[in-house]
Structure 1
């Protein structure tokens, strides 16, 4: 026997900043009543009307959600598609004037897609044509990280080596917000250990203190060679900062006897941080 997910009927709410004639409110209420109930914690956009204008197209839509708390949208990316799924337009909108939505409510809104937002020639879009709408979800990323070299690193690296690390940080892939990431950039193997230099980046809005850093080391075959937790004491890294550190993996703890280090990879184990 399968459990049927609980669904929620939203209540329509009109913005105080949009003066809507009573007749149009009845039309929105009619469209809203035709919509299927939402499952828990959903955000949905439903297109009502599409109008062609001299500057592009205006789409009237109803945004609704089934969250148990107020919803405030900052930025959203909306897609307009035809009934066969072909993309007609896409644009990111600032939703500051949209305001807060109480729990399980819906609100109509107008969206202007200008000519540069259209994905097809303007002539392909017909006034009041049937269409569909969707959110394009994206995650905010942090691109620019400031390299921090403490006294030991500043004194221990030549100017060329410092320039290399600065250049490396500037070329790393952006991070999603609220992540901590590691990248290995130097590998040295001795008779009894493997030493690796890594860069730690912090994309949280606050500084972090890392007391223990659990790392897995993989060889060219993709096999895990060892897994170690490195006690760092009070290793602090500021918001949007990149900071190098060196780690030593003793061969006594290797789980693979003859690893192939022609290439290598390290990964952090985040759940144990």
Structure 2
């Protein structure tokens, strides 16, 4: 993956300043992330130390968001090579297949734009920061201004519409009658708007089945500008009293959620996972279970 030669970093020894990092619990909605290295990128130990060093300097991020931070900008024959850290503050693993990135100059003007395939990046574990490299070709640039370390890289948000749409898997078209689909779309319109790069879930319906298992229908909402892939989702359901009714981890097909959309999905907790037999579902809450 060597796109360019790295410039010398600060004089202070990186190896002396880097310590083993662990994710911490959110404080006021902000959290630190744990460094993660993609298995698809063979990296020298010294390079790992350097990325750990930059990771330690990152500001805390709001839980539920995705972000990207540039740590190196270099120009090579009219091309711009960028080293960046991708932060996943979502409480579940995420796979990004492709993403539109913008390079902004120090005055906030667009300098370059390009769509990158991230198939080789692999899965981003929950609450982690992953280093990656991006190369903008000369044809991706919109200005010939020289590169400055004050330039920033960011996700291009889909601003064409502020309205989320239902993203239905095969089979859900038949499962949702016209009336039920209208009800779900109406509910989606009433939900609080997602913040930039935010991913969350919302409960639609919960009920016991004949075999005493519990079915919870949820909307998985993707407010980012790229398609997301979920392979596993740990969930907990609480009733009106705030008591845990059931808790379990679900393996998914994987599940793809389009940008600016919400995908309905049914999760069935077997009877063996039911912790409260007579819950009060006059109000209820579903959340991603914390380890």
Give the TM-score taking structure 2 as reference length. 0.47
Compare CA radii of gyration and give the structure with the larger one.
Answer: 1
Tell me which of the two structures has the higher relative contact order, counting C-alpha pairs closer than 8 angstroms and 6 or more residues apart: 2
Higher strand share: 1
